[in-house]
Amino acid sequence: MYEKEFAEVQKLIEGQDQWRLRTINLIASENVLSKKVRAFAGSDFAHRYAEGHPGERYYRGTSFIDEIETKLKANLKILFNCTHTEVRPISGTNANEAVFSKLVNREDVVMANSTPGGGHISHHRMGSLGKFTKNIIDFPLTADGYHIDIEKTKFLIKSAKPKLIVLGKSLFLFPEPVRELAEICAENKVKIIYDAAHVLGLIAGKQFQDPLAEGALLVTASTHKTFFGSQRGVILSNMDDEEWRKIDRGAFPGSSSNHHLHTLAQLAMATYEMMEFGQQYAADVRANAKALAAALDRLGFNVEAKEFGYTESHQVAVNVSNLGGGERVSKTLELNDIILNMNMLPHEPLRKHDHPDGIRIGVQEMTRFGMKQDEMERIAELIKECVIDNKPVKDEVNRFRRDYQDVKYSYDDLPETTEKKPAAKSRK
């Protein structure tokens, strides 16, 4: 009865797959799985449940996923040098929810980055944190807008007495002052939560700060931005066992039930790729971001944070108010198969969130497709031709992208591991 409609959806899926391989994707919150990892999205685990911990499930038939989950947790402990890992959240926001639900009470004060200052919606009154308290204070920023004002923050910690502070951003160019705030937070019994959703892969690759080593109590993160895994969330910590049990209960049964086992298995596979290739990948991502920012600057764009070297992460922020604003520029680029998002910049009032001055660019996906600094120069030229020179560049974008179809920093070149049964002997 619905075969036609079924076929239409199938065609849309195929169209997406084909179209994306023609585009230059610069969305800062996305990445790609290797072909080998992606191939297991449809495994039998997609149909199954496994509530609880390995060996302590509420369902039977979980021996295979128990082994996968146990190995994943052990590898994450190695990768991030931590004693506790929680892998059951199915997104970064889900991980934040698990933490906030156990650490924040109704009257507690919490400090976080504002939306114009780069903060994520889950840290705010309208998001996950706002479910547990409305007493949320924005971090004061330095004049450039991309760094927390440490002295003013120390004053607020003493005077406002927050229960915890939430570091980490959605527009995330530079490391956060974890080490600089750790002592005063300890003196005032303030917990430091670090949302590493955007920079988890850079941390894993030793190309960004190590928030746990610098004094953060907990790290929450997505696993599919600079960390090139499946779309999930994690929580990492070195806290004592008694405290960790609260976070464990926040994840289950607090914010998740069954935790999407097929993507968990994919994350386990992608984590091996990160352990093998992560340091080189993260270094190349940072180098590419700096190269793209410098090229855009030379071509006449108002690239943010120039005085600080533009960026220390995978992201570049550009003020395009003189070109019609972030909404117009991002739509123009999309018509030419260059995909990125409009984004508020630190100087903007919150009411401008639908029509911000800025765009946010991320280089992590194109880096994984093998692009290096020379290719960043070409991308900058294409963006300039499109939005400054008003030239159509879609055909050239598609031609350029043809040479970058294979995922690098991966095990895609390994032979298939599925064991083949020996052929049955013929009976005479």
Domains belonging to the chain, first-starting first, are: 37-271 (3.40.640.10), 279-401 (3.90.1150.10)
pLDDT-derived band of residue 129, with 50, 70 and 90 as boundaries? confident
Strands in 141-240 per DSSP E = 164-167, 191-195, 218-222, 233-237
- State yes or no: pLDDT of 421 exceeds 70: no
pLDDT digits (tens, 9 = 90+) for 356-398: 999 999 999 999 999 999 999 999 999 999 999 999 999 999 9
Which pLDDT score, from 0 to 100, does residue 155 have? 97
Mean pLDDT lowest for which of 232-236, 254-258, 386-390?
254-258
List the one residue out of 147, 146, 154, 152 whose CA is nearest residue 181.
154
Question: For the residues 236-242, what does the mean pLDDT come to?
Answer: 95
pLDDT-derived band of residue 119, with 50, 70 and 90 as boundaries? confident
Which pLDDT score, from 0 to 100, does residue 253 have? 81
Q: Please tell me the distance from the alpha carbon of residue 153 to that of residue 173, in angstroms, as a whole number.
A: 19
Q: Please tell me the distance from the alpha carbon of residue 224 to that of residue 234, in angstroms, as a whole number.
A: 11
Percent of the chain with pLDDT over 90: 85
Question: For the residues 16-34, what does the mean pLDDT come to?
Answer: 98
pLDDT-derived band of residue 428, with 50, 70 and 90 as boundaries? very low
Percent of the chain with pLDDT over 70: 97
Which pLDDT score, from 0 to 100, does residue 6 have? 95
Q: Please tell me the distance from the alpha carbon of residue 243 to that of residue 428, in angstroms, as a whole number.
A: 68
Q: Where are the alpha helices (DSSP H) in 234-369?
A: 241-249, 261-298, 326-335, 364-368
Q: Please tell me the distance from the alpha carbon of residue 318 to that of residue 381, in angstroms, as a whole number.
A: 15
Question: For the residues 135-157, what does the mean pLDDT come to?
Answer: 96
- State yes or no: pLDDT of 420 exceeds 80: no
Size of the chain in residues:
428
Question: For the residues 273-289, what does the mean pLDDT come to?
Answer: 98
pLDDT-derived band of residue 427, with 50, 70 and 90 as boundaries? very low
Residue 234 DSSP symbol: E
Residue 369 DSSP symbol: T
- State yes or no: pLDDT of 88 exceeds 50: yes
Which pLDDT score, from 0 to 100, does residue 122 have? 84
Question: For the residues 286-298, what does the mean pLDDT come to?
Answer: 98
List the one residue out of 61, 122, 364 whose CA is nearest residue 223.
364
CB atoms within 10 A of CB 61: 10
